[in-house]
Amino acid sequence: MKGLSLGIFSSNKILNTATRFVNSINVFNKKNMQDQGRVRGIDPTQNEPWLDEFMRTSIMENVSYISTIRDEYFPKVESIVYQGVKNGSSPKEIREQLVQRIGMSEKRAKFIARDQSGSILGQMTAKRHKAMGAEKFKWSTSKDERVRDSHEKLEGKVFEYANPPAVGLPGTDYNCRCVAMPVFE
Ligand SMILES: [Zn+2]
């Protein structure tokens, strides 16, 4: 079991997964920012000396999150199997417990991924807005009932990147789906 799981959680696989994840966020944000810049005839993604280091840091952060999930996962799986055998549980019962456990790890991974993509997107957007000459942004929520009250209050308000609201940039708060729209002088 451990051998099998180690395959999923090998350092190489984790690094590949994290790299693909951060790369796909970058591709998504790049296209968005190019579309927003086009109105002013600017491509903010043409010269990005900050990008390599930012990507590297984001990937390493992601690797460490995935590694934490792995480190929690192994002892739990071991204990399910060990306890199951000790208590004379049937293979079917043990299997059900394992499936449930894997589901929990998967949920946690998705949760972390969603939270992280918002945060990475928020930071990338800020850098690219500034590159297209927008020193200010307009806070835009998803305008549905899931928007938290503290962000609903910010809907449509304009902030300076140099002086963002207390909750931080759009998208960076825990599981936040808000986005920043560029404001040009
Ligand atoms: Zn929000």
Regarding whether 182 and 160 lie in a shared domain, the answer is yes
Regarding whether 55 and 34 lie in a shared domain, the answer is yes
- Taking the centre of ligand 1 as the mean of its atom positions, its distance from the CA of residue 59, in whole angstroms, is 23
Range of the domain at 180: 134-185
pLDDT value, residue 113:
86
Query: Which DSSP state fits 46?
Result: S
φ, ψ (nearest 5 deg) of residue 149: -55, -40
Regarding whether 114 and 145 lie in a shared domain, the answer is no
Regarding whether 52 and 41 lie in a shared domain, the answer is yes
The total domain count for the chain is: 2
Regarding whether 97 and 18 lie in a shared domain, the answer is yes
Q: How far apart are CA 67 and CA 13, in angstroms?
A: 11
Regarding whether 169 and 82 lie in a shared domain, the answer is no
- Taking the centre of ligand 1 as the mean of its atom positions, its distance from the CA of residue 77, in whole angstroms, is 36
- Taking the centre of ligand 1 as the mean of its atom positions, its distance from the CA of residue 76, in whole angstroms, is 34
pLDDT digits (tens, 9 = 90+) for 11-52: 888 899 999 999 999 999 999 999 999 989 999 999 999 999
pLDDT digits (tens, 9 = 90+) for 117-152: 999 999 999 999 999 999 999 999 999 999 999 999
pLDDT value, residue 13:
87
